[in-house]
Chain A
Amino acid sequence: MTAITIDKATKVFSSRDGEEVVALSDVSLDIGENEFISLVGPSGCGKSTLLRLIGGLLPLNAGRILIDGTEVKGPQVKTGFVFQKATLLEWKTILENVLFPLKIMGTLDAKSKDKARELLALAGLDGFENKYPAELSGGMQQRAGICRALMHDPDILLMDEPFGALDALTREDMSIELLRIWREQPKTIVFVTHSIAEAVLLSDRVVVMSPRPGEVKQILDIPLPRPRSFAVQKDARFQEKVDEIRHLITGK
């Protein structure tokens, strides 16, 4: 069964001086249920735009996007967003931040707090529930942001360079942790990254995009066994896929 169908999606922005930027042109892509799919490509090829379109944060100029057969018209309860920056609310504690989606959607109940605590524990943040975001490291803030996106049990997680602002070591830990969370709570993940190795390590498939206009250049299967750990990087197929994607992006 297909979770997300993107059918000839086209998005045009008009800039202030009236010039038109074709951010996405005729992009078609089918994403399966509980699939982990990554979008890679040079800056400006429309990765964030595609993610926002799937999340219903932007309207399309042409084409359609369906989630479980229903056309996306606006933000959906089925999707959860993780942004490049943690975008936590500075004035709320970590626990309140994680509860924020339920508060907005009006579905806060007696069990919500326990669930938020469980999620925070799963992300290694137990004991930090009552701290304010400013008291946490960047990595911890980002983990709290992921917990927040998981809080309303979305079927689809849209992640826009979620580890982009983290240092290399934290970044590696976080990607393994994300795989663990995904294994324990299966869901469809669309993951935007600049790191080719990260995309290969995490994904079932990697979508390589090209800019001006934003298009899908190629889609590659990553046939590496799961569950994966860093050891997978020693696998010859891992390096092969990384090289293949790099060649597609840079031409080298």
Chain B
Amino acid sequence: MSHIATRTPSPLRRFWMRSQGTLLPVITFLLVLLLWEICVKVFAIPEFLLPAPSAIWLATTEQAGLVWGHTLATLRTVVLGYGLSILISLPLAFALTSSRIVANAVYPLLILTQSIPKVALAPILVIALGANELPRVIITFLVAFFPLVVAVTTGLLSVPGDLIELGRSYRATRLQQMVQIRMPYAIPFIFSGLKTAVALAVVGAVVGEFVTSDRGLGYLIQTSTAFFRMPLAFGAMLVLSLMGIVLFQIVAVAEKLLFPWSSQQQAD
């Protein structure tokens, strides 16, 4: 049998072995779409219950300009809220962990904030901040911020004692300890937090749009369903999912490019 194992595989087979990781789920997805289409046609499911993929596609592409405009509006809210959560949580986590006592005092509270249902704040914030873009950005920010700050703080606090002692043995200053040891050690934690946060930011933006908005994919879903334009509502929902996936992948690729050792470590 061993001569079979050593034979070089054909180019087609090699292509398959290399790309089956991505090809298989794509094929599965297409099959699901096909099955969905067939079921809707065969069982004559009414459109307001479940539109066929072809109907969704048509409705969405017919209104491509409109959908695109709403997509940009949602994207803007996501980017602003997510950006704000990064800008605030990173320095905050560094500050919290630079002192043991502060860390011990605040870290348990941070963990508790995880269980606050941030989206329930949306209507309250609209009253407080007015029916403009601000409450949507704040909701997005809140939803992304807490998991992110917890992830970064956890990373900074879980540096092994050996590494801290190593730094001490060369008389590292507090700043050197933070910049040379704690921060790089926390990179895989930070990125896992960034990935969770970006997915949540999309959810936050849509919830904000549900509560108050005249633009965005959340608004589009609401107005479409109000007029029973289910294919368009489904289309908006799928565009939203796609946005979440693309943003997640951007963060994942950034990690791979900037910190190759970090994504390797997680794979182990």
Contact = CB atoms under 8 A, between A and B. Distances in A.
Given A104-B172, A104-B176, A104-B180, A87 B166 contact: yes
Interface string A72-92: 001101011101010101111
Given A89-B184, A104-B176, A75 B170 contact: yes
Contact of A55 (B167, B169, B268): B169
Chain A interface size, under 10 / 10 to 19 / 20 to 34 / 35 or more: 20 to 34
Contacts of A85: 162
A238 B265 CA distance: 45
B170 A89 contact: no
Given A57-B169, A81-B169, A103 B261 contact: no
Q: Tell me the interface secondary structure of chain B in the complex.
A: helix
A104 B165 contact: no
A105 B187 contact: no
Contact of B261 (A77, A101, A134): A134
A152 B167 CA distance: 14
A80 B180 CA distance: 19
Contacts of A77: 171
A57 B262 CA distance: 30
B163 interface: yes
Contacts of B169: 55, 57, 75, 79-81
Contact of A104 (B170, B185, B187, B265): B170
Contact of A91 (B162, B167, B261): B261
Nearest to A74: B171
B264 interface: yes
B29 interface: no
A81 B181 CA distance: 17
Give the most central of A77, A87, A92: most B CB within 10 Å: A87
A92 B187 CA distance: 13
B268 A105 contact: no
A182 interface: no
A101 B176 CA distance: 12
Interface residues of B, number: 23
B170 A132 contact: no
Contacts of B166: 81, 83, 87
B16 interface: no
B150 to A, nearest CB: 22
A57 B265 contact: no
A49 B185 CA distance: 26
B168 interface: yes
B7 to A, nearest CB: 30
Contact of B180 (A55, A57, A103): A103
Given A74-B171, A103-B180, A134 B265 contact: yes
B152 to A, nearest CB: 16
B171 A105 contact: yes
Give the most central of B162, B167, B169: most A CB within 10 Å: B169
A132 B261 contact: yes
A81 B162 CA distance: 11
Interface string B164-196: 011111111000100011001101000000000
B57 interface: no
Interface of B: 160, 162-163, 165-172, 176, 180-181, 184-185, 187, 259, 261-262, 264-265, 268
Interface of A: 55, 57, 74-75, 77, 79-81, 83, 85, 87, 89-92, 100-101, 103-105, 132, 134, 152
The 3 closest A-B pairs by CB, nearest first: A104-B170, A87-B162, A91-B184
20 contacts: A55-B169, A75-B168, A75-B169, A81-B169, A83-B166, A85-B162, A87-B166, A89-B184, A89-B185, A90-B185, A90-B261, A91-B184, A91-B185, A91-B259, A92-B184, A100-B170, A100-B180, A101-B170, A104-B170, A132-B261
Given A55-B169, A91-B262, 20 more contacts: A75-B171, A77-B171, A81-B165, A81-B166, A85-B162, A87-B160, A87-B166, A89-B163, A89-B184, A89-B185, A91-B184, A91-B185, A92-B184, A100-B180, A101-B170, A104-B171, A104-B172, A105-B170, A132-B261, A132-B264
